[in-house]
Amino acid sequence: MLPQWLIEKKRDGQALSDEEIRWFIEGFTVGRIPDYQMAAMAMAIYCRGMTAAETAVITDAMMRSGDLVDTSAIQRPKADKHSTGGIGDKVSLILAPLVACCGVAVPMISGRGLGITGGTLDKLESIPGYRTDLSEKQFVEVIQKCGCSIIGQTGRLAPADKKLYALRDVTGTVPSIPLITASIMSKKLAEGIDALVLDVKWGKGAFMRTMEDARTLARSMVDVGVHMGKGMAALITDMNRPLGRCAGNALEVIESVQTLQGEGPADLVEVTLALSARMLLLVKKARDEKEARAMLQKHLDSGKAYEVFQEMVRLQGGDPASLEKLHNVHTASLQEPLPALESGTVAAVDAERVGKACVVLGAGRVKTDDKVDFAVGVSNLVQVSENVTKGQPLVVVHANDENRLEEARKLLDGAFTIRREPVKTPPLVYETILP
Amino acid sequence: MLPQWLIEKKRDGQALSDEEIRWFIEGFTVGRIPDYQMAAMAMAIYCRGMTAAETAVITDAMMRSGDLVDTSAIQRPKADKHSTGGIGDKVSLILAPLVACCGVAVPMISGRGLGITGGTLDKLESIPGYRTDLSEKQFVEVIQKCGCSIIGQTGRLAPADKKLYALRDVTGTVPSIPLITASIMSKKLAEGIDALVLDVKWGKGAFMRTMEDARTLARSMVDVGVHMGKGMAALITDMNRPLGRCAGNALEVIESVQTLQGEGPADLVEVTLALSARMLLLVKKARDEKEARAMLQKHLDSGKAYEVFQEMVRLQGGDPASLEKLHNVHTASLQEPLPALESGTVAAVDAERVGKACVVLGAGRVKTDDKVDFAVGVSNLVQVSENVTKGQPLVVVHANDENRLEEARKLLDGAFTIRREPVKTPPLVYETILP
């Protein structure tokens, strides 16, 4: 077997066999198949697609290219949530302890921000002392003690994906549904979970720009997960507007803590509850959504979820006492409100512009080795369908540099659409994709 | 500009601009754009195609990646012929001196055999002393003295093509019409010619398996040549059967000499005359095909074409006296006739099987650095529509190794179709593609 024979087969629109896909991915992982052949294969996959069966096999092959987390010591059912990324998406920080309160173990391996979407690890690292680099053993221990743990990817988790993603990034082969599916699912399924809920976002601030694309990706990922014996569901959610009122690392932790204390913005609470409820249903901790939501609401209201979050922070080396004074730990030197130029109803908040403004301020990364500034970002964002009066702040910008502030302001100036006539609030959750 | 932006543009089916194509090819040639990005681009080009204008620009960019032959010192009109390759195709050896007799300069830069198709350089090197590695200066001098010269590619001729071809070979991107066009035409147009006639072969022994594919490639190459100001024509010729009665290096030189002496097989003579006549028409040395053919026939009959061939051999270091005793210079130790198992009419001679037999015998190359055996091959091939009687030889196999002979025999056993009923002779030239 020569690599080019398989490239030709895919190029001609044929389906590759299980053995062929595994041989190719393994060869690429160990370096027997060079980058240029993988690049040609990735482009052929982009152009010709893959069947559901092929997508499941490439996901499995990539997952098996590295270590699988051994969660067998954890007695509870294990479930996780994965989001395709958005602006202000701090759901994981609330969802993990909340679902853990309901008797579900949440072994969450998260990523860093790249481009305009933030990363859960960057947010958590704004908590003094919090370690995201636990060993697998420590990871399992934290979960056994408090029910959840959020850490970063270990070096041996799906190395094929790490290598392939870097190559796709520079060869125009990122937006391929089977390759995105394999990339996400190979890492998530290596966590040793029983069930996975996907938050597939669409819109201006999301990787998937149309609902149609989000639906296609969601279906592909759900199919692969089911094929690999996992309980699966996907929610198609709105990312034309930011989620919640804050974006930026420490600012999002502060908003998450407020939400765990029962004072979160309605959109963030709703998306968190919808995803959390779906997790409980998948592991049969609730009979229907109503029962699931009641359980979740109880743990939010009682402060139990916040206690679990504090405990997780403590077990991972962080200082729980810092959580309620994080605005003092990370304070931007410049905090400037942006006033509304007219009165009316907020018809749109452009998530892409808000996300770009955060990157400009230093909250995100342009290159993978960029450092992030925990203090900067935006807070007090007005939300769609709220009424504003002229002069009232639409957002507060947190910056550590005058020039960056100026650049962010230009982006944010065009981010808000204000209308005289009433505005219909768009849905937060558009669809639920089930097996 | 980042290379991946251009890969994405092509991937999405858009046409690249002149500047973009030149920037990409230049970057690849100097090594600024790595192989993996070129591989992804080549696959995107394979899948999405290129417009005629893009194909012309990539050809020009590849041509200009190296040196152009300066033929300005040659006063005569300059024309060449290129064949896409076939079994027994020794047309160049006869055509170059023949066309030179008519006042046309023929600066022919040829290639070596790879796979089942033979290479003009390998054939010529079976002539003792013949040098294919002349400098550009020597090349021009030979043409000035005898009207034609056949040499090999210099290191600086279209280096982008050399690099790209090696990459395409291992990334499943060889059979792309725009890339084949650019590969062939970038080298041919670097010769400094006014006109080019293409022999695009189709069939079992050709790179293009169907007439449809051959027609598409011919049209693409003619368009590019015209775009670059050259006189262009393409003949679509048959390569389901071998051309002539011999295949193998020295064996083909012997057959070429016989043809130049007026004793060539009818099919070889006809294809050579058709291509040569078209060259004369393009450089206006004849008003119509009839006049062109009369001129050419005269130079064949008078022995003038053979004299020019002998002179070219002499000027390139070869021994003209060896030409008529080449069968003594290169004699295979085993010469075995393969008898017909039944009487009837030859309905087909499978060019692919004959070509594979020649490779097996050692006349061709599997890898680019393989050595070829000048003596081996096949001679005395029967031709389609000839009658044979049981026991009469269908072919004589020339071998230097018993095992290879045996393997070749197995291939050749299945190469001949003999029928009881009369056979219609298929055309040699199917179509002429003009601008």
Q: Is A164 an interface residue toward B (CB < 8 Å)?
A: no
Residue B111 has a pLDDT of: 86
The stretches of B73-209 forming alpha helices (DSSP H) are 91-100, 120-124, 136-146, 159-169, 177-188
Residues whose CB falls within 8 Å of the CB of residue A155, separated by 6 or more in sequence, listed in order: none
Amino acid at A237: T
Chain B closest-CA separation from residue A38 CA (Å): 8
Q: Per-residue confidence at A157, pLDDT binned at 50, 70, 90?
A: confident
Chain A closest-CA separation from residue B33 CA (Å): 11
Q: pLDDT digits over B231-272, tens only?
A: 999 999 999 999 999 999 999 999 999 999 999 999 999 999
Rounded-to-integer distance, Cα A42 and Cα A48, Å: 10
Q: Per-residue confidence at A156, pLDDT binned at 50, 70, 90?
A: confident
Q: Is B171 an interface residue toward A (CB < 8 Å)?
A: yes
Token reading at A141: 């221990």
CB-CB contact of B299 with B305 (8 Å): yes
Chain A closest-CA separation from residue B411 CA (Å): 23
What's the average model confidence in pLDDT over B143-160? 91
Task: Single out the residue of A255, A245, A248 nearest to residue A377, CA to CA.
Answer: A248
Question: Do A39 and B39 lie within an 8 Å CB cutoff?
Answer: yes
Query: Which of B34, B36, B43 faces A44 most closely, judged by CB atoms?
Result: B43
Q: pLDDT digits over A13-57, tens only?
A: 999 999 999 999 999 999 999 999 999 999 999 999 999 999 999
Residue A155 has pLDDT above 70, yes or no: no
> Residue by residue, what is the 3-state secondary structure of A47-63?
HHCCCHHHHHHHHHHHH
CB-CB contact of A395 with A378 (8 Å): yes
Q: Which residues from A are below 8 Å from B169, CB to CB?
A: 4
Q: What residue ranges of chain A are covered by domains with CATH 1.20.970.10?
A: 3-49
Whole-angstrom distance between the N-terminal and C-terminal Cα of chain A? Answer: 36
CATH entry 3.90.1170.30 includes domain A330-419: yes
Amino acid at A143: I
Question: Do A4 and B44 lie within an 8 Å CB cutoff?
Answer: no
Active site residue A183: yes
Q: Could you say which of A187, A188, A215, A278 is catalytic?
A: A187
Q: Which residues from B are below 8 Å from A3, CB to CB?
A: 170
**Parallel, antiparallel or unpaired: strands B344-349 and B416-419:** antiparallel
Residue A366 has pLDDT above 80, yes or no: no
Q: Per-residue confidence at B157, pLDDT binned at 50, 70, 90?
A: confident
Least confident of A75-89, A105-119, B221-235, B366-380: A105-119
Q: Is A224 an interface residue toward B (CB < 8 Å)?
A: no
Residue B55 has pLDDT above 90, yes or no: yes
Residue of B nearest to A13 (CA): B47
Q: Could you say which of A10, A78, A81, A168 is catalytic?
A: A168
Interface mutation target, options A2, A10, A32, A171, chain B, most CBs of B under 10 Å = A171
Rounded-to-integer distance, Cα A236 and Cα A54, Å: 24
Fold of A3-49: 1.20.970
Interface mutation target, options A38, A43, A47, chain B, most CBs of B under 10 Å = A43
Q: Is A172 an interface residue toward B (CB < 8 Å)?
A: yes
Query: Which of A3, A40, A43 faces B11 most closely, judged by CB atoms?
Result: A43
Q: Give the A window 29-68 contacts with B, CB below 8 Å.
A: 34-40, 42-44, 46-48
Active site residue B238: no
Residues whose CB falls within 8 Å of the CB of residue A378, separated by 6 or more in sequence, listed in order: A246, A247, A248, A251, A354, A357, A358, A395, A396, A397, A398, A412
Amino acid at A19: E
Token reading at B244: 């002539």
Residue B155 has a pLDDT of: 67
Average pLDDT, chain A: 96
In CATH, what number does B79-157+165-324 get?
3.40.1030.10
Interface mutation target, options A1, A9, A36, A163, chain B, most CBs of B under 10 Å = A36
Residue B84, Cβ neighbours under 10 Å: how many? 23
Residue A166, Cβ neighbours under 10 Å: how many? 12
Question: Do B44 and A42 lie within an 8 Å CB cutoff?
Answer: no
**Residues facing residue A82 across a β-bridge:** A198
- Half-sphere exposure (CA, 13 Å, Cβ side) for A313? 24
Question: Do A35 and B38 lie within an 8 Å CB cutoff?
Answer: no
CB-CB contact of A399 with A405 (8 Å): yes
Residue B162 has pLDDT above 70, yes or no: yes
Q: Is B334 an interface residue toward A (CB < 8 Å)?
A: no
Query: Which of A4, A35, A169 faces B172 most closely, judged by CB atoms?
Result: A4
What's the average model confidence in pLDDT over B300-323? 98
Average pLDDT, chain B: 96
Residues whose CB falls within 8 Å of the CB of residue B383, separated by 6 or more in sequence, listed in order: B241, B245, B265, B267, B346, B349
The CA distances from residue B427 to A296, B237, B267, B421, B430, in Å, are: 81, 8, 10, 19, 6
Sheet order of strands, B334-339 included? B334-339, B393-399, B377-379
Residue A93 has a pLDDT of: 98
Q: Could you say which of A80, A122, A161, A223 is catalytic?
A: A161
Chain B closest-CA separation from residue A148 CA (Å): 40
Q: pLDDT digits over A387-426, tens only?
A: 999 999 999 999 999 999 999 999 999 999 999 999 999 9
Task: Single out the residue of A110, A129, A130, A136 nearest to residue A121, CA to CA.
Answer: A110
Token reading at B186: 């970038």
Q: Is the dihedral of CA B308, B314, B318, B320 positive or negative?
A: positive
Active site residue B161: yes
DSSP-derived 3-state class of residue B430: strand
Question: Do B11 and A172 lie within an 8 Å CB cutoff?
Answer: yes
Least confident of A116-130, A270-284, B258-272: A116-130
Residue B291 has a pLDDT of: 98
Q: What residue ranges of chain A are covered by domains with CATH 3.40.1030.10?
A: 79-157+165-324
Residue B406, Cβ neighbours under 10 Å: how many? 11
Q: Is the entire prediction scored with pTM above 0.90? A: no
What is the H or E stretch that residue B397 is in? strand B393-399
| Total residue count of chain A as it appears in this document | 435
Interface mutation target, options B8, B16, B43, B213, chain A, most CBs of A under 10 Å = B43
CB-CB contact of A363 with A400 (8 Å): no
Query: Which of B37, B48, B169 faces A170 most closely, judged by CB atoms?
Result: B37
Q: Is A283 an interface residue toward B (CB < 8 Å)?
A: no
Active site residue A187: yes
Q: pLDDT digits over B14-35, tens only?
A: 999 999 999 999 999 999 999 9
Residue B408 has a pLDDT of: 97
Residue B126, Cβ neighbours under 10 Å: how many? 23
Residues whose CB falls within 8 Å of the CB of residue B255, separated by 6 or more in sequence, listed in order: B90, B244, B245, B246, B264, B265, B268, B379
CB-CB contact of A412 with A338 (8 Å): yes
Q: Is B179 an interface residue toward A (CB < 8 Å)?
A: no
Q: Which residues from B are below 8 Å from A171, CB to CB?
A: 4, 7, 36-37, 39-40
Active site residue A365: no
Q: What residue ranges of chain B are covered by domains with CATH 3.90.1170.30?
A: 330-419
Q: pLDDT digits over A231-258, tens only?
A: 999 999 999 999 999 999 999 999 999 9
Task: Single out the residue of B183, B81, B113 nearest to residue B366, CA to CA.
Answer: B113
- Residues of A392-416 as b/e, b for ≥16 C-beta within 10 angstroms? ebbbbbbbebeebbebbbebbeebb
Q: CA A171, A174, A176, A178: dihedral to nearest 10 degrees? A: 110
What ipTM does this complex have? Answer: 0.85
Q: Which residues from A are below 8 Å from B171, CB to CB?
A: 4, 7, 36-37, 39-40
Residue B112 has pLDDT above 90, yes or no: no
Chain A closest-CA separation from residue B40 CA (Å): 5
Rounded-to-integer distance, Cα B344 and Cα B394, Å: 12
Q: Could you say which of B81, B82, B162, B201 is catalytic?
A: B82
> Residue by residue, what is the 3-state secondary structure of chain A?
CCHHHHHHHHHCCCCCCHHHHHHHHHHHHHCCCCHHHHHHHHHHHHHHCCCHHHHHHHHHHHHCCCCCCCCCCCCCCEEEEEECCCCCCCHHHHHHHHHHCCCCEEEEEECCCECCECCHHHHHCCCCCCCCCCCHHHHHHHHHHHCEEEEECCCCCCHHHHHHHHHHHCCCCCCCHHHHHHHHHHHHHHHCCCEEEEEEEECCCCCECCHHHHHHHHHHHHHHHHHCCCEEEEEEEECCCCCCCCECHHHHHHHHHHHHCCCCCHHHHHHHHHHHHHHHHHCCCCCCHHHHHHHHHHHHHCCHHHHHHHHHHHHCCCCHHHHHHHHHHCCCCEEEEEECCCCEEEEEECHHHHHHHHHHHCCCCCCCCCCCCCCCEEECCCCCCCEECCCCEEEEEEECCHHHHHHHHHHHHCCEEEECCCCCCCCCEEEEECC
The CA distances from residue B434 to A387, B185, B233, in Å, are: 71, 16, 5
Residue showing tokens 């993990």: A96
Question: Do B47 and A43 lie within an 8 Å CB cutoff?
Answer: yes
